[in-house]
Amino acid sequence: MSFIDISRVNILPNRRPLNDQKVAELMESIKANGLLNPITLDQDFNLVAGLHRLTACKLIGFQEIECHIITCEDTDHARLAEIDENLIRSELDALERSELWLERDRILERMGLRAKVGDNQFTQRGGENISPPPKTTVELAKEIGYTERTFQYGKQIAKNIVPEVKEMIKGTPIARNTSALLKIAREGSKERQEAEQAEIAAEEARTQQKRVELEKQKKLAEQAREKQKKLQLIALQNAIAQKEAKESSKPTQRISKNIKTDEIQTQTDEAWILDRHMIYCGDTTKEDFIQLLPSNAALAIAPPCCSWKHDYLVDEAHVVAVMRCEGSIYDLCRCSQMPFRFELVIGNIYVAIYSREPLLKPNHNTHIEGIEGIVSYLVSFFTKPGSFVITPSLGYGEVLISCERLRRICFAGDENPERANEAIVRWQRWTGKQAMRA
């Protein structure tokens, strides 16, 4: 082990982003116990492993830092050493680990390195530590507790999820869920194969200087890649929506009883403000309610209890989702004059989706129980944080509470004062805030 002036450590570009919480935890540990695990540098003092430790030491004010120096023959060797350090020591989510596995395999293939079982982490040459160890990636994966099957799934995830979708996944709970990542990776498999075939054909046309054929194959490849991306985006939306729906089915933990519920007495034709939400008590088919609505809502949801005289919603929201129990489907289809797009069956509820514009349909069967879970799934799939959501019937406040949880803005109405009261009280107890008459 050696000590080096901390200012001499070079940090090369394209490193994993820092986790601020991990840096803070390391600072506390280093202050109490010192640096237990030295950083790793190559012979030119380029950082191979230990960015979080190095950052913590800099913030504490260290002038020198303990380091382990290895000899790397080139950038590929240095990168392999860094990958191995991260795989062995770092707390990685499933997506990060999968990408490192794939990158490591590609470097080994490029370098023509193949390992023998039982090789040590570092080999010796002339008394120097030489990196990287000649281990296959699957051997390394097994050493740190992963099966070959998990490793193969990981490479499939890293190889098949398109870069734009990966960027959207990073930092979300889906990045830690191997099963969800695998479903996303497998979406658009046909389109991926078509793109790869077109790319091979384009390269052949380029070699043969067939310009027309080259442009044709490039266009086919671009179209196939774009469709693959769209399918994977839908799969990602679906995974997030299903997770939100499952969270909604858990018992509510944020409950405040220090609320003056006796002051809530809604009357017909009055509106209440609930922080960023609004509730109107009155006939939601009339102009008084319609005038209160935003004209650019992302979604309108009508729960099963809602009678149908609300075709106007398709002009107020981009998507209208009407929930019905099985026996009420025919009446809905007979009464509604909105442009129908597709249907979803979630649990035992039929959901008719209407819109004036074409929509992407969820392409996975969803196994979600309960109205609240289904509402959260719809809100999460069809909207983003900050979106407006309309509901012309409050039910038990499912849409209102879902919007509060998911950071959407709810415009709700109900002609029944008792249901309005119950929804407002439920929201107050959940948030600890007080509703006000408009």
Tell me the sheet residues that pair with 323: 351
Pairing of the two strands 47-49 and 39-41 = antiparallel
Task: Give pLDDT, residue 258.
Answer: 59
pLDDT tens per residue across span 375-396: 999 999 999 999 999 999 998 8
Res. 11: pLDDT tops 90: no
Distance CA 435, CA 265 (A): 11
Query: How much is the average pLDDT of 161-170?
Result: 93
Of the ranges 250-259, 329-338, 375-384, 419-428, which one carries the lowest mean pLDDT score?
250-259
Task: Give pLDDT, residue 325.
Answer: 80
Res. 18: pLDDT tops 90: no
Res. 134: pLDDT tops 60: no
Q: Choose between 318 and 69: higher pLDDT.
A: 318
Model pTM?
Answer: 0.69
Assess contact for 246 and 377: CB atoms under 8 A.
Answer: no
User: Would you mind telling me the total number of residues written for the chain in this entry?
Assistant: 438
pLDDT tens per residue across span 44-69: 888 888 888 999 999 999 999 999 88
Q: Which of 30-39, 78-87, 307-316, 385-394 has the highest mean pLDDT?
A: 385-394
Task: Give pLDDT, residue 128.
Answer: 47
DSSP 28-77: HHHHHH--SS-EEE-TT-BEEE-HHHHHHHHHHT-SEEEEEE-EESSHHH
Task: Give pLDDT, residue 256.
Answer: 56
Assess contact for 202 and 219: CB atoms under 8 A.
Answer: no
Distance of CA 231 to the CA centre of its chain: 15
Pairing of the two strands 409-414 and 297-302 = unpaired
